Amino acid sequence: MPLWGGAFAEPTDNDLKALNDSISFDQRMYAEDITGSIAYAKAIARAKVISIEEADQIVAGLQQVLAEFESGNFQLQPGDEDIHTAVERRLTEIVGPVGGKLHTGRSRNDQVATDFRLWVLAHQTKVDALLEALQTVIIEKAEHHLHTLMPGYTHLQPAQPITAAHWLMSFFWMLARDRDRLADAQRRTSVSPLGSGALAGNPFNVDRATLAADLGFADVSQNSLDGVSDRDFVAESLFALALMGTHLSRLAEDIIIYSNPLFGYITLNDRYSTGSSIMPQKRNADPMELARGKAGRLIGHLTGLMTTLKGLPSTYNKDLQEDKEAIFDAFDTVGKLLPVTIAIIRTLQINPGKMRAALGDELLATDLAEYLVRKGLPFRQGHHVVGQAVRMASNQGIKLSALPLESLRELSPLFEPDVVEVFDFAASVARRRVIGGPAPEAVTTQIEQAKAWMQAHARQTAQT
Ligand code: ARG
């Protein structure tokens, strides 16, 4: 008989058990469940529901259950429906009937919400540390390539010259926003629902604030109905992970393209690329393709949970059991993805010669129009004149920079001998020294800002 079987004349059908039981996946919350129960035993002792001696017995028993899990000696029984019932069943085997007092005033509804928040909090912190490590390797790699010129793209068409440092650093800021979002989600995860009971609150007036503080929560929930059913923290975490996965997928896509021999801008380290079983020359960016693929999986988890939540009537419904596999898998997925991504960036070989060779004159067409602007022509006219120059060069089968001055002057008398100075990629980049621009001095400032961001973020999260 299950723990709740008193009113039932017949045992649960086996097919229903297979559908209903969550022990196969929620057993990974054993530590959080036991931590929550130890704090709860102490709280009901403080509320004089059980004696100090009884609480001590229960706590000692729970510690033994924890040790069994930790040593791999915990024996699951067929009747163990979920982690909460399994721990209580084993506790009672160890300490006897006093174990049956632990659940007084508590429901699995406030229990599971508490355990789950503790689990999510710990994993948010782990992911944040991995994101910090990724930001660090991005900065380190960028610092070596402040002057490494490469084509920048829009629509994946060559657009204007930038530097490899500037390209790499663009991902730093995406990850910064991801970390902000995780920290923000973490604030709302750190709210204790324990003491909400099944839905209508704890009848023994347990001190919820002390109980929450005991468990490391920053706050307590203010409404028991909302307390047992609020899964915003799951949805927010899934969104933060899905968007982070989207950023990693975009980084992956750049790496896949830039490592293609047609580009050759970068080479993946042997340890982080794979070969083909038939084509000996192949060096595939499989890990990056997996990053791109996993983003779809993360977005799927977010969509799945939102769909589960949208039609629920008030308070706990069993649908909510669906929240766990989604987020377990999301954290597992990013937990596998991030270390490989960190290593790929750390070991990435940047090929400045290939990047430089891909810079064609046409990437300076905008600079040429800006040259005319500096001579007094409105930009729109300058754009038109340079468009004609581009066509002229292409018709003659020559590079833009090879057009003779006389030909250029047919298009505009503003062209003068100093026009040759436009055809300098480094000078083009150096002119773009506004905040956020690719000029080496601007990227140096950007990197200083990035480091300051990391320090400020570390201080903020240490405070919460
Ligand atoms: N296994 C359940 C879950 O994960 C625990 C809560 C069960 N509560 C209940 N009233 N049946 O959501």
| pLDDT score for 315 | 98
Shared domain check, 235 and 186:
yes
In a domain, 382, yes or no: yes
| pLDDT score for 5 | 82
Q: Is 155 a catalytic residue?
A: yes
Q: Is 319 exposed, middle or buried (0-12, 13-18, 19+ CB in 10 A)?
A: middle
Q: Which of 104, 132, 147 is the last residue of a domain?
A: 104
Residue 454 has pLDDT above 80, yes or no: yes
Shared domain check, 165 and 36:
no
pLDDT (tens digit per residue) in 354-374: 999 999 999 999 999 999 999
Pairing of strands 191-192, 219-220: parallel
Residue located via tokens 């649908």: 319
Range of the domain at 51: 14-104
Q: How many residues does the chain have?
A: 464
Ligand 1: does its nearest atom lie under 6 Å from the Cβ of 108?
yes
Residue of 155, 229, 301, 457 marked active site: 155
**Contact partners, residue 150, CB within 8 Å, separation at least 6:** 161, 162, 163, 164, 167, 265, 355, 356, 358, 359
Nearest residue to 400 via CA among 449, 433, 365: 365
For a ligand 1 pocket test, name from 87, 199, 321, 325 the mutation site with the most ligand atoms within 8 angstroms of its C-beta. 321
Q: How far, in Å, is the centroid of ligand 1 from the Cα of 109?
A: 6
Shared domain check, 64 and 175:
no
Q: Which of 104, 121, 137 is the last residue of a domain?
A: 104
Shared domain check, 190 and 308:
yes
In a domain, 2, yes or no: no
Shared domain check, 269 and 348:
yes
The Cα–Cα gap between 238 and 443 comes to 32
Shared domain check, 53 and 163:
no
| pLDDT score for 116 | 98
Q: How far, in Å, is the centroid of ligand 1 from the Cα of 197?
A: 12
Ligand 1: does its nearest atom lie under 6 Å from the Cβ of 33?
no
Question: CATH code at 119?
Answer: 1.20.200.10
Q: Between the CA of residue 153 and those of 182, 257, 439, what are the distances in Å?
A: 30, 12, 16
Contacts 24+ apart (CB under 8 A), 422-426: 422/364, 422/367, 422/368, 422/371, 423/361, 423/364, 425/149, 425/161, 425/356, 425/359, 425/363, 425/364, 426/147, 426/149
> C-alpha angle with apex 50: 223 to 97, nearest 5 degrees?
110
Shared domain check, 140 and 254:
yes
Q: How far, in Å, is the centroid of ligand 1 from the Cα of 190?
A: 20
Q: How far, in Å, is the centroid of ligand 1 from the Cα of 110?
A: 9
Shared domain check, 78 and 182:
no
Q: Which of 49, 72, 104 is the last residue of a domain?
A: 104
Nearest residue to 228 via CA among 104, 81, 108: 108
- Count structural domains, the chain: 3
Name the pLDDT band for 261 (thresholds 50, 70, 90). Answer: very high
DSSP E strands in 44-201: the ranges are 149-154, 157-163, 191-192
pLDDT (tens digit per residue) in 74-95: 999 999 999 999 999 999 999 9
pLDDT (tens digit per residue) in 96-125: 999 999 999 999 999 999 999 999 999 999
- Residue 324 CA: nearest ligand 1 atom is 4
In a domain, 146, yes or no: yes
Nearest residue to 461 via CA among 129, 147, 192: 129
Ligand 1: does its nearest atom lie under 6 Å from the Cβ of 29?
no
- Residue 318 CA: nearest ligand 1 atom is 12
Contacts 24+ apart (CB under 8 A), 411-419: 411/385, 412/372, 412/377, 412/385, 414/372, 414/375, 414/376, 414/377, 415/372, 416/375, 419/368, 419/371
Q: Between the CA of residue 422 and those of 188, 285, 401, 428, what are the distances in Å?
A: 54, 37, 9, 7
In a domain, 385, yes or no: yes
Higher pLDDT, 270 or 350: 350
| pLDDT score for 338 | 98
In a domain, 194, yes or no: yes
Average pLDDT score over residue span 248-268:
97
| pLDDT score for 205 | 95
In a domain, 404, yes or no: yes
Nearest residue to 113 via CA among 202, 214, 224, 15: 224
* Number of neighbours of residue 85 by Cβ within 10 angstroms: 20
Shared domain check, 260 and 135:
yes
Shared domain check, 285 and 199:
yes
The Cα–Cα gap between 58 and 55 comes to 5
Beta bridge partners of 313: none
Q: How far, in Å, is the centroid of ligand 1 from the Cα of 321?
A: 6
Shared domain check, 265 and 404:
no
pLDDT (tens digit per residue) in 169-228: 999 999 999 999 999 999 999 999 999 999 999 999 999 999 999 999 999 999 999 999
Q: How far, in Å, is the centroid of ligand 1 from the Cα of 194?
A: 14
- Residue 4 CA: nearest ligand 1 atom is 11
Sign of the four-CA dihedral 283, 285, 290, 293: negative
Question: CATH code at 376?
Answer: 1.10.40.30
The Cα–Cα gap between 437 and 440 comes to 9
Ligand 1: does its nearest atom lie under 6 Å from the Cβ of 321?
yes
The Cα–Cα gap between 21 and 38 comes to 24
In a domain, 436, yes or no: no
Exposure string for 2-19, b = 16+ CB within 10 A, e = fewer: bbeeeeeeeeeeeeeeee
Residue located via tokens 């409105």: 378
Question: CATH code at 53?
Answer: 1.10.275.10
Q: Is 276 a catalytic residue?
A: yes
Residue of 24, 51, 276, 394 marked active site: 276
In a domain, 314, yes or no: yes
> Are 339 and 251 contacting, i.e. CB atoms less than 8 angstroms apart?
no
Shared domain check, 352 and 262:
yes
